[in-house]
């Protein structure tokens, strides 16, 4: 005879497992925030561009050309962000003489929708942006650097492991390991839920977390990396940045800690933009110096 209590618990367990896909797709869906302004609001000249990415989608962006500049800096927003949110950093970078490309990842801003967003898809979009630049504006991108924020930073680090066109990376507020981010997001749900969600997300995105984790990406990057992180970041603790920096071989990555800065504290990072420009300066002024930025 089947124990009714056992049957009930089994049914509840099956319902909980069946609910994981729905919960993941609803809970981890990126909010779409469309731009309400343009670089012109910051006194910057620009061109509106659209270019293809994978799966037949199109990305929306802004190209901010600098006269005679041969180095382009690609800015990658974070989860739920858009190109406009990167404009405060774009102003001093453009004034320093860099070409800039700001764009919306899939499911963000004014870019096309897709089935889901993920760090690997952010990286795919970055790769597509660089490929478009090199095809449409080869003279402007003899050297390419990437500045990414949060998930965009993790994507920049991941793409740099496989894209030799990237000469330098500035990573702002990157997390160390998506498995830890998932565990924090699921707290205080029962611990048994975390590995189930992790395995499901890995299956959906087609990558193991251990493969795409910035903590692992930094071990395989050949270009210089500047890690920027706020000491008051409550979303991604400063310890993550320190771990990533410690994992970089041969001192290839340097760490810039910003006092009192939180996860989205652009104004605090702006106050230290001179450090970012000093890191990038060899790209702009000395061709062939891209491997000696550190």
Peptide bond into 203 cis (omega under 30): no
Higher pLDDT residue, 90 or 284?
Answer: 90
Q: Is the pLDDT of residue 140 over 90?
A: yes
Q: Is the pLDDT of residue 42 over 50?
A: yes
Q: Is the pLDDT of residue 38 over 80?
A: yes
pLDDT at 16: 45
What does the CA dihedral 211, 216, 218, 221 come to, rounded to 10 degrees?
A: -50
Instruction: Give 222's contacts (C-beta < 8 A, 6+ positions apart).
Output: 160, 164, 252, 291
DSSP H or E stretch at residue 53: none
Q: Please, what is the average pLDDT of the chain?
A: 89
Could you say which DSSP state residue 234 is in?
Answer: S
Domain chopping of the chain, boundaries: 45-177+213-287, 181-208
- Record the tokens describing residue 225, joined without a space: 């990396």
pLDDT at 258: 96
Identify the CA nearest to 147 among candidates 134, 131, 160.
160
Least confident of 139-143, 255-259, 267-271: 267-271
pLDDT band of 4, cuts 50, 70, 90? low
Domain 45-177+213-287, second-level architecture: 3-Layer(aba) Sandwich (3.40)
CA distance 293 to 165: 16
pLDDT at 268: 86
Least confident of 188-197, 203-212, 229-238: 188-197
Integer CA distances (angstroms), 118 to 28, 47, 59, in order: 9, 27, 16
Identify the CA nearest to 69 among candidates 135, 17, 127, 141.
141
């Amino acid at each position: 005879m089947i124990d009714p209590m056992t049957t009930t618990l089994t049914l509840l367990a099956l319902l909980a497992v069946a609910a994981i896909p729905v919960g993941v797709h609803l809970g981890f869906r990126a909010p779409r925030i469309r731009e309400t302004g343009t670089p012109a609001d910051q006194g910057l000249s620009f061109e509106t561009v659209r270019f293809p990415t994978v799966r037949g989608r199109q990305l929306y962006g802004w190209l901010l050309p600098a006269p005679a500049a041969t180095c382009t800096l690609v800015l990658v927003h974070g989860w739920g962000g858009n190109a406009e949110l990167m404009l405060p950093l774009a102003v001093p970078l453009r004034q320093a003489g860099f070409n800039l490309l700001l764009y919306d990842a899939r499911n963000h801003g004014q870019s096309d929708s897709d089935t889901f967003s993920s760090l690997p898809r952010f990286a795919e979009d970055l790769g597509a942006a660089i490929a478009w630049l090199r095809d449409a504006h080869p003279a402007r991108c003899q050297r390419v650097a990437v500045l990414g924020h949060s998930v965009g930073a993790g994507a920049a680090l991941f793409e740099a492991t496989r894209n030799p066109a990237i000469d330098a990376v500035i990573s702002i507020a990157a997390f160390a390991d998506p498995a830890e981010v998932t565990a924090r997001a699921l707290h205080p749900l029962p611990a048994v839920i975390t590995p189930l969600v992790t395995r499901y997300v890995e299956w959906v995105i087609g990558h193991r977390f251990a493969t795409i984790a910035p903590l692992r990406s930094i071990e395989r990057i050949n270009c210089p990396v500047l890690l920027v992180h706020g000491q008051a970041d409550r979303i991604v603790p400063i310890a993550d940045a320190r771990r990533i920096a410690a994992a970089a071989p041969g001192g290839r990555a340097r760490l810039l800690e910003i006092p009192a800065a939180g996860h989205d504290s652009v104004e605090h990072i702006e106050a230290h933009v001179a450090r970012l420009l000093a890191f990038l300066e060899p790209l702009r002024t000395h061709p062939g110096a891209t491997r000696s930025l550190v």
